[in-house]
Structure 1
Amino acid sequence: MSAADELYEAYVRKVPLALGSIGVESLEEAYQIQDRVLEMKINDNDESLRGYKISLTSEETQKMFNHDEPLYGALTNKNLVNNARYSDYNAPRLEMEIAFLVQEDLSVEDSAEDIIRKCLIAPGLEIPDGRYEDWFPNASKYEIVADSAVAGGMTFGQSDFSTYEKLDDIKGTLTLDGEVIKEGRSSEVMGHPAKAVKWLVEKLHAHGKIVEAGKVISSGTFNLPVELEKGYYEAEFENVGTVTLEVK
């Protein structure tokens, strides 16, 4: 069984793999596996590509995984959720993210300001979750990429157009059942979330892909991921708005 087959089976059956079992040793191979797993999700599991998530957007997380740039993964319709059941995941975490809802195709010629102009901006929460046992923070960067950058779930709130300045170094606050559990800033996301999206556009272009209108981008976390628990989460972002997620 190929590495892509193993990951797909782990995804469908919700039975995690042992770390090191798929034997991937390069980013090129890892992205090829990610593409193959996405093909199987679309062809065999009635899913559709809805967008992308960006991981390792801070220097701290890059050091954790011995890397020097972000990573990306595909999001399908089954990754976009309104609420969540804890039992649907393996070892889920939670992150505060800004969502970019693409209104016009994005190009490598676009500046960060152009990207914001072409997107609606929404407050978001992402549930990273890996198809490996004890994946965080123990999986390799190659295992992370092969597993679609550990795409689990994502939800976002009301969207609106914004500006580069309105997203610059803004604060995000995460609460669980009314108690503040985490704070972070958009400057943790490659200095500015739009810069992370620009990185994604350029990386996808190098892989022969484009970001089309209608796609959603989870641009990178304001905070180191916290362990997901059952309860009612709310994330408030300055100049953007509030998003909620109930985990049962």
Structure 2
Amino acid sequence: MSAADELYEAYVEKVPLALGSIGVASLEEAYQIQEQVLKMKINDNDEILRGYKVSLTSEETQDIFNHDEPLYGALTNKNLINNAKYSDYNEPKLEMEIAFLVQENLSIDDSEEDIIRKCLIAPGLEIPDGRYKDWFPNASKYEIVADSAVAGGVTFGQSDFSTYEKLDDIKGVLTLDGEVIKEGRSSEVMGHPAKAVKWLIGKLHAHGKIVEAGKVISSGTFNLPVELEKGYYEAVYENIGKVSLEVK
């Protein structure tokens, strides 16, 4: 069984793999496996590519996984959620993220200001979840990439057009059942979330892909991931608004 077959089976059957079992040892191979698994999701599970997520956008998370740049993964319709059932996941975490809802095709030549102009901006929450046992922080960067950058679930609130300045170093506050559990800033996302999206456009371009209108981009976390628990989460972001997620 190939590495892609193993990951797809773990995804469908919800039976996590042992770390090291798929034997991937390079980023090139990892992205190839990710693409193969995505094709299986589309062809065999009737899923639709809806966008991308950017991971490892802070020095702290890059250090954890011994890497010096971000990673990306594909998001399908199954990853876009309104609420969450805890039992649907393996070892889920939670992160504060800003979502870019692409209104015009994004080009390799677009500036960060162009990117923001071409997107609606929404407050978001992401549930990273790996198809491996004890994946955080023990999976290799290659295993993370092969597993679509541990895409789990993404939800976002009301969107609107914004500006570079309005997204610059803004604060996010995460609460669980009304109690503050985490705070973070957009500067953790490569200095500015638009920089992460620009990085993504360039990386996809190198892989022969573009970001088309209609896609969603989860641009990178404000905070180190927290353990997902059952309850009512809310994230409030300066200049953007708030988003909620109920986990049952």
Q: Give yes or no for TM over 0.5.
A: yes
State the alpha-carbon separation in 2 of the partners of residues 125 and 61 from structure 1. 17
Which residue is equivalent to 1:17?
17
Which string of whole-angstrom CA distances, capped at 9 and with x for unpartnered residues, describes residues 111-170 of structure 1?
000000000000000000000000000000000000000000000000000000000000
User: Percent of pairs identical after alignment?
Assistant: 89
Which residue is equivalent to 1:144?
144
Which residue is equivalent to 1:207?
207
Which residue is equivalent to 1:95?
95
State the alpha-carbon separation in 2 of the partners of residues 46 and 227 from structure 1. 30
Which residue is equivalent to 1:166?
166
- Alpha-carbon distance, 1:226 to partner: 0.1
AA at the equivalent of 1:7: L
- Alpha-carbon distance, 1:174 to partner: 0.1
Which string of whole-angstrom CA distances, capped at 9 and with x for unpartnered residues, describes residues 68-109 of structure 1?
000000000000000000000000000000000000000000
AA at the equivalent of 2:137: P
AA at the equivalent of 1:216: V
Indicate yes or no: 2:111 matched with 1:115: no
AA at the equivalent of 2:76: T
Which residue is equivalent to 2:247?
247
Moved over 2 A (4+): none
Which residue is equivalent to 2:185?
185
- Alpha-carbon distance, 1:193 to partner: 0.1
Indicate yes or no: 2:50 matched with 1:50: yes
Structure 1 gap ranges (5+): none
State the alpha-carbon separation in 2 of the partners of residues 178 and 132 from structure 1. 31
Which residue is equivalent to 1:224?
224
- Tell me how large the CA RMSD over aligned residues is: 0.2
State the alpha-carbon separation in 2 of the partners of residues 92 and 111 from structure 1. 34
SS in 2 for 1:60: helix
SS in 1 for 2:47: coil
Give the TM-score, by structure 2 length.
Answer: 1.00
- Alpha-carbon distance, 1:202 to partner: 0.3
Indicate yes or no: 2:69 matched with 1:69: yes
Give the TM-score, by structure 1 length.
Answer: 1.00
State the alpha-carbon separation in 2 of the partners of residues 107 and 59 from structure 1. 26
State the alpha-carbon separation in 1 of the partners of residues 198 and 238 from structure 2. 22
- Alpha-carbon distance, 1:223 to partner: 0.2
AA at the equivalent of 1:245: L
SS in 2 for 1:130: coil
SS in 1 for 2:163: coil
State the alpha-carbon separation in 1 of the partners of residues 113 and 138 from structure 2. 36
Which residue is equivalent to 1:6?
6
- Alpha-carbon distance, 1:230 to partner: 0.1
- Alpha-carbon distance, 1:185 to partner: 0.1
Structure 2 gap ranges (5+): none
State the alpha-carbon separation in 1 of the partners of residues 50 and 101 from structure 2. 10
State the alpha-carbon separation in 2 of the partners of residues 143 and 240 from structure 1. 33
